[in-house]
Structure 1
Amino acid sequence: MKPPLCRLVSLHLVAAACALFSLTGLPVPALADTVRLYFNPAAPQISFAAGDIKSALEKAKMSVETFALSDLEKTGNGNKIVLATSEDKAALSLLPDGIKSVGSLGAQAYVLRTTAKPDMTHWVIGGDANGAMYGGFQLAENISFKGFGGSYDSKESPFLLYRGMKLNLPLDKRLPTYVGGWSSHSARAAIADVWDMTFWKTLIDQQARHRYNLLSVWVHHPFPALVRVADYPKASLPDIQKYDGSVIKMDHPQRVKFWREVMTHAHSRGMKFYFFDWNIYVDYASTQYPALSKSPDNPATIDYTSKSMKALLATYPELDGFGITTGDGMDGTREENTEWSWKAYGKPVAEYLKENPSRRFELIHRGVKTDPETVSQFYAPLKSVPGATLTFSSKYAMAHMYSTPTPQWSSDPKTVARLGMKTFLTLRNDDYFYLNWGDPQFVRDFMAGIPVKESVVGMYIGIDGYNPTRARLYKDSSLNGQLEVERRWYMEMLWARLSYNPATSDEVFKNILGLHYPGLPAKDLFTAWTLASRSLPRVTELVMKDWALDFHWYPEGCWSDPGRCSGFRTIDDKSGAKGGFAGQDVAKGSNLCNIADSAAGKCGGKKSSYQLADEMQADATKALSLIRPMRSGGNAALKTALSNVRQMACLSAYYAHKIRGATFKKAGEKIKARDEMAQAYGWWMAYSRSMEATYLPDSFRNLEIAPDWKYADAAVLKEYTDLGGKGVPEFEEAR
């Protein structure tokens, strides 16, 4: 920040200089670069944001004095920042005349106002404490971009009321997450992180800044780690076992204290906390009580589960809700599944809330193996219970949120709206475990495509095939140990920021990239990152009709489950789960023309796979040209960011040639197809060698990168030689 003019003149000219400022109508700078920060320290959300503002000011070389909001009316001259809510009438009464009315503010909304007289003051006014916190984050960000001296007249309110995280995490070796104890490095390592308070507080703080406000933890059967049921005392875990055989010594009271602290911290950052489960599972409990089983006809299992549910509400007054899945371990009809879940979960919640009318609690019933009408029918008694909220949840984009921005896999949101209920959208990212994707416009288009928006209360985003806690993927050990949400910070941020306000401009993200990666040209980095990311969802969109689940398709590896599918995905024209690119149809909701129709010239005005491949190749080429002159200067984080963009661009180029090759082959143009697969091989090698240099191999729920990132090289080359290619094709990266 430039020093104020009053410092640049001799002391005997101070009064004259400051008088000159008054004549121009500009605020008179203070004699020192000091800002007084007023807020209510009793509101933890606001105090958190005030801390970020203070840090931003100090980085701008300004000193900060903090005061209680109640001291505002006693203040003297000087630069100020005021953090308040619309309920702070005394503070708002001090807004100068002529300032634009704050108006009515809803939950999580805020306005920013700047007044220039008698001194510069930035006002952050929230519709509630959460809104004031988000406004405080925005002001801190603005100060980081351009210092204290900006002028603001803006208002923001949430597009989606709840913007959530879906974390599939085991609580213990005996209490796995979906779908059991597979050999994923992330799942096996996660237990230590799950019981580490630093992990949770770091995650919650960062994600709150991004505007996430719902945290959900998904476990097969969480109760043995969370509650002690009087009639089933031995079902409570004696300690916490990790996959390596070691033990975390935490008894039941210690575990209760731990999770209540996690929930309280989440609330202090404006965030709700939920557990979700799958059914029917009685992990660990059945080893202590053999009468318990997965059978829906077993009354002992219903008794145990319903009493566990009541114990959960009694033990954790801070718990905001619970999510129910009538699967994947249930095989009954929709009516049978939902009746069981009502007896095991809905009825005990209704009974508890009737006995404790001051408690508020939400049940989220997922649409797995049921439907909105059936849930509404069986859970009708809950709707009349004070304090109870029943919400439906739809698997909106199946396992691939990175596909078409207008998915049409489910009619659930429309049905829920007709029933007068609300919907959460489950958004599954079983696409990118390594790559830090980032295309803001795709997210905006996704938000705009949400049907019957008035019935959609929010979303939660997560992965089934990977269990993200702390990074353990890097060959550079200095990068491991950071939280996964820190490693993939850009992708995480875009979804929360743009589901809070889809109108957030690209300039904001350019500025954020500039702060995150100083020394790199932010505008070019943003453009390259966007272009490299843009094409990857289009690949999935082109082939997703029968590849909708996670085991069908893993785009980072062009792979599928070898048992249920075919392993490496070829360009062949066989249809279905074991088929190749040319045999697939587009995702539901897509306006692309599939490969077979493109080859036959029957697109009817839709974008052909030839056109799509051309666009993908152009975007990849441009992205690579933009990052090619950028240098990391030996900084590991900068190097990783540049490698990430390069990896996405190379993978996009690979798929561009693969799609073109598949279309040519389907059209009977074998020579053109061969030439395209020669180029595809070159781009695959560029991609896989960059991934090999950066990342360790890993195993996930449906696949593994093993023994290294060269795992698919032979399969990629075979697509070329099967078309008559000889040896290894020559390749030179386009410039």
Structure 2
Amino acid sequence: MKKCFLLIIYLIGNISIANCSDIISITYNTQLEQLSFAVNNLKEQLFYKGKQLRINEFKSSSGEKDILIITKGDIQNPFDTMVAETDFEGLKSEGYRFKRVNNSHTLLVLASDEKGSAYGVLELKEHLELNPNLKEIKDKVVNPAFEYRIVKYNLPWSPYRSNPATEIHTHISRDIAFWEKFLDMMVENRLNVLSLWNNHPFPFMIIAENYPKASPFSEDEMEEWKTFWKTLFRMAKLRGIQTFIVNWNIVVSPEFAEAYGVNEYNDLSDVVKKYTKESVTQMINEYEDLTGIGVTLADWMGNFGEKEMTPQKREDWIEETIVAGMKEANRPVKFIHRSVLAGDPIAMRELIDRAGLEEPALVEIKFNWSHGHSTPKLAITHDYHSGELDDRFWNPIPENYRIQWMIRNEDFFILRWAQPDFIRAHINENAKEYVNGYFIGSEGYIPAMDYSHKPSPIKTWQYAFEKQWMFYKTWGRLLYQPDTPDSYFIHQFELRYGEGKGAPLLEASKLASNMPLRLASFYRSTWDYTLYSEGFIEAEPSSKTEWFDRSSPFISIDQLINHETLDPDMISIVDYSKKTMNKEKIGSDQITPLALAELSENDSKRALELIGPLYSQTNEYSGALESELDDISTWSYLGIYFADKLRAGVALQDFRNTGDIEKKKLAIGLLEKCLEHWDQVIKYTKDRYNPTPHVSTQRYGENFTEFSWELLRPQVKRDIQIAKDSK
């Protein structure tokens, strides 16, 4: 008879598993759905490794167990004598503890709730990927750093940004097969909330009882929509993922506007208020697995002209519609209150006070506006007024809400990105008492169809989020556990691409991924169109300036010279040139354009050195490795381009200040080198990526309806002429 190894997982109140050399025994409460989902996931992995997972229900408590899973307070648990109350001390929601039982083979997994137990099982799965020996699992406690780890997903119907870059995702965003993979990715990466955003969700979810003409769908069509939503919300709940529907205000459907004689936007009439309130109630009642609802003081709450609403009137409208509708529903739900420029923290606090929520509200604040992938220092938010941050959102510390930083990504949609050191620094800088979560996501990008990549043998993934797998993995895992070491991410690379490749891939990814962070930190931007880092594009200026060139979205040398910085420690080119001309002292903690150029070039060249040897190994494993390497190369040459453009900007501005012709010659030479760097970017992208519809460039006419690096080459070359023409 083979000797068995016993592992017990104890979720405050439940016990699981026993293990032999070929058979692992797990014992847990099989009535817990989220936990059962995780166990079945483990069972599938073990099957492919030639092992069997034997599942025991609690009532079958006899015999040796490898793994015993117990959730605190589970009334089904017959193993109370094995675990003390003190074993659960210090465990937060979604946390877990691994503990050996009296030096036996049994491993307990203890958790305060079902989600914690499921996460414990997922870690067991990850351990077994690396090491098949359960005996080597050490006693430990794992707790989430943030309660809310949220994905922002913009829906392509009734979209905030209506354009080809949005519409192309409509079919996939209604495909349950897509959502199954997306939700599985979220669980794997410990992302625990899916927030779904569009202008006006109700016509796609309900036929309003008193306003049936609000929806364009027949009863049969609405049944199809309901099946989709219920399946999605159920799938998410099974995986321990909360779901929120978030809308903009004040909007109704075109059908509602026509049928009931109102405006589609900015209509403050009683009929729109009544319809909105009743729709909120009906939606909550009809979708029992929906976690909550969100609302934003946004563009269509009378921002302009005679209908402009004061912050207080905006909150009053939300109270009379969204909050009132929530109160009349047959169950409580959670509430997201998005904070934007149009709001006021005092009016918002008072609204949340009156809402009478059972759980603290979620207040989302954009970190550094629409460009969270910049400096980890909080420089601006969407509530930014008169050059100062409004700290009244968190001062004094709120009692009935907590803040979640929105890390909006409007800066890279095509190239892969992974910089765990940046995420760690961000968390270390901004994990305040009043913060309990993060949002990650975009407004102009939906991670569904990967329409940018050309069909190719190296395209081994189906969906866009699968190509950006390390973006979600680094953000999700570090928000859950900030001390997750680099060794974990190295191992994830090696699982995909083979032993020995993980360390150089991770280090090169880090170095190359600094490029967009540095550009966004140097080039101060606010809303969505003010920067697209991977394209070196500014489609709309942050403020009206004489130097802004409306003939092209490309950031010209003049724009780079004159633009202010976002990071307060950085010095703009125009200010740096003036200081050096006047021989002013520059602080030791300040980052000059030339110092930034040096950092960008050094990191980029080192990344290219690290991945050079890996190109000869791309045929051994997934063809996706070649695409990973090409993306790192692209970022690297963009980083070298940025470095020489910074140097050229300093030289050109010095010439303009002093008349030194040698400075002008230097600038021209550097910009000619920039064109060579850009040609390298084209080399690594032209054959892989299609010219891609992009939300921010379409206002520039027929020449800029799509984005590609090759299409911008004339603008890169134009910089040389700007320098030559300078006087």
Deviation (angstroms), 1:322: 1.3
Cross-structure match for 1:401:
372
**For each residue in 1:587-617, what CA deviation from the matched residue of structure 2 results, as whole angstroms up to 9, or x when unmatched?**
1x54223223333345322121211111111
Query: What corresponds to 1:189 in structure 2?
Result: 168
Where do 1:27-46 residues align within 5 Å?
Answer: 32-46=21-35
Amino acid at match of 1:626: L
For each residue in 1:227-276, what CA deviation from the matched residue of structure 2 results, as whole angstroms up to 9, or x when unmatched? 1222211112315xxxxxxxxx9522332232122112111111110111
What is the number of residues matched between the two proteins?
A: 663
2:119 is equivalent to residue 134 of structure 1: yes
Counterpart of 1:476 (choices 455, 470, 489) is 455
Check conservation: 1:404, 1:590, Cα contact below 8 A.
no
**2: distance between equivalents of 1:597 and 1:152?**
55
How many angstroms apart in 2 are the aligned matches of 1:337 and 1:102? 45
Relative to structure 1, the CA distance from residue 220 to residue 143 in structure 2 (aligned partners, 3 Å threshold; closer, same or farther) is same
- Name 1:48's counterpart in structure 2: 37
Listed one character per residue, the Cα deviations across residues 309-346 of structure 1 (whole Å, up to 9, x for unaligned) are 22212222222211112221221221222222222222
1:610 aligns with 2:630: no
- Residue 390 to residue 65, structure 1, CA distance change in 2 (3 Å): closer
Distance between the aligned counterparts of 2:324 and 2:348, measured in 1?
A: 13
2:339 aligned to 358, 361, 366, which one? 366
Q: Using the TM superposition, name which of 400-409 and 40-49 deviates more.
A: 40-49
1:349 CA displacement? 2.1
1:376 is matched with 349
* Alignment partner, residue 733 of structure 1: none
SS in 1 for 2:99: strand
Question: Residue in 2 aligned with 1:492?
Answer: 472
Contact 2:493/2:501 (<8 A) preserved: no
Q: In structure 2, how many angstroms separate the alpha carbons of the residues matched to 1:678 and 1:367?
A: 43
Cα shift readout 1:11-39 (whole Å, capped 9, x = no counterpart) = xxx9xxxxxxxxxxxxxx98743211223
**3-state DSSP class of the match of 2:454?**
coil
String of CA shifts for 1:107-129, please: whole Å, max 9, x gaps: 011112345854x3333222211
1:336 to 313, 338, 346: 313
Q: Deviations over 1:493-552 (max 9, x none)?
A: 1111111111111111111111122255211111111111123201110111xx222211
Label 1:693 to 1:123 Cα distance change in 2 as closer, same or farther (>3 A).
farther
Would the alpha carbon gap of residues 620 and 92 (structure 1) be closer, same or farther in structure 2, given more than 3 Å must change?
A: farther
| Partner secondary structure for residue 190 of structure 1 | coil
Q: Deviations along 1:550-596, whole A, 9 cap, x unmatched?
A: 211111111122799643444544xxxxxx11112221x54223223
The aligned runs of 1:269-348 (5 Å cut-off) are 269-284=239-254, 285-330=256-301, 331=303, 332=308, 333-348=310-325
What's the offset of the Cα at 1:702?
1.2
Distance in 1 (alpha carbons) for counterparts of 2:341 and 2:202 = 21
Describe the superposition over 1:360-419 as per-residue Cα deviations: whole angstroms up to 9, x where unpaired: 332424334112211223454213x6x465332212221111100122314456524524
Match of 1:217 in 2: 196
In structure 2, relative to structure 1, the CA distance for the partners of 1:361 and 1:103 (3 Å cut) is closer
Q: 8 Å contact 2:88–2:112 — kept in the other structure? A: no
The change in CA–CA distance for 1:164 and 1:287 in structure 2 (over 3 A counts) is same
Q: Distance in 1 between matches of 2:70 and 2:409?
A: 37
Structure 1 residues 507, 457: closer, same or farther in 2, change over 3 A?
same
Does residue 622 (structure 1) correspond to residue 603 (structure 2)? The answer is no
Correspondence 1:415 to 2:393: yes
The 3 A distance-change label for structure 1 pair 94 and 518 is farther
Look up the equivalent residue of 1:646 and give its one-letter code: S
Partners of 1:33 and 1:127 in 2: CA distance: 31
Q: Does 1:551 align with 2:546?
A: no
Cα deviation for residue 214 of structure 1 reads 0.5
1:162 correspondence with 2:148: yes
Distance 1:659 1:300, change over 3 A: same
Tell whether the 8 Å contact from 2:411 to 2:516 is kept in structure 1 after alignment.
no
Shift of the 644–681 alpha-carbon distance from structure 1 to 2, 3 Å rule, reads same
- Pick one of 503, 527, 533 that aligns with 2:513: 533
- In 2, Cα distance between the equivalents of 1:638 and 1:277? 39
Report the residue type matching 2:619 in the other structure.
G
CA-to-partner distance for each residue in 1:162-211, whole Å, 9 max, x for gaps? 0011111123xxxx2113x3222xx2222212222112222111111100
1:125 partnered with 2:95 = no
Q: Is the partner of 2:276 in helix, strand or coil?
A: helix
TM-score, normalised to structure 1, is 0.84
SS in 2 for 1:194: helix
CA contact (8 A) 1:296 1:340 kept: no
- Contact preservation (8 Å) 1:365, 1:390: no
Q: Are the structure 2 counterparts of residues 718 and 105 from structure 1 closer, same or farther at C-alpha, using a change threshold of 3 Å?
A: same
1:75 maps to 2:63: yes
Amino acid at match of 1:257: T
Q: Deviations over 1:651-706 (max 9, x none)?
A: 11111111222122222222222222222211111112211121111112112573
* CA-atom RMSD in angstroms: 2.8
Greater shift, 619-628 or 474-483, is seen at: 474-483
1:501 to 459, 466, 481: 481
Partner in structure 1 of residue 9 of structure 2: none
1:219 Cα deviation after fit: 0.8
CA deviations 1:423-465 (Å, max 9, x no partner) are 22222100110111101110001111216x2222322211111
CA contact (8 A) 1:164 1:460 kept: yes
The amino acid across from 2:63 in the alignment is T
Q: Which residue of 2 aligns with 1:523?
A: 503
2:35 and 2:117 in contact (8 A); partners too: yes
Q: Is the 8 A contact 1:511 1:522 kept in 2?
A: yes
Check 1:214–1:301 CA distance in 2 against 1; reply closer, same or farther (3 A cut): same
Unmatched 5+ stretches in structure 2: 4-17, 382-388, 656-662, 698-703
From 622, 639, 645, the equivalent of 1:652 is 639
CA offsets per residue over residues 52-111 of structure 1, 9 Å max, x none? 33344344443322222443x3123x7x122332335846646599x9945331201111
Choose from 590, 594, 611 the match for 2:572: 594
Q: CA separation in 2, counterparts of 1:473 and 1:480?
A: 14
Partner of 2:596, secondary structure, is helix
Cα distance between partner residues in 2 of 1:151 and 1:430: 41
Q: Distance in 2 between matches of 1:692 and 1:590?
A: 36
Letter in 1 for 2:107: H
- In structure 1, runs of 5+ residues without a counterpart are 1-5, 8-13, 15-28, 240-248, 574-579, 726-735
State the match for 2:716 in structure 1.
716
CA contact (8 A) 2:88 2:111 kept: no
Contact 2:522 2:570 in 1 (8 A): yes
Contact 1:168 1:219 in 2 (8 A): yes
Q: Which residue does 1:439 correspond to in 2?
A: 419
Alpha-carbon separation, structure 2, partners of 1:407 and 1:268: 36
Distance 1:69 1:530, change over 3 A: farther
Distance 1:512 1:67 in 2: 31
Name the SS for the 1:718 alignment partner. Answer: helix
Q: Given that residues 552 and 560 in structure 1 are in contact (C-alpha distance below 8 angstroms), is that contact kept between their aligned partners in structure 2? A: yes
> Which whole-Å CA distance do the structure 2 matches of 1:585 and 1:381 have between them?
42
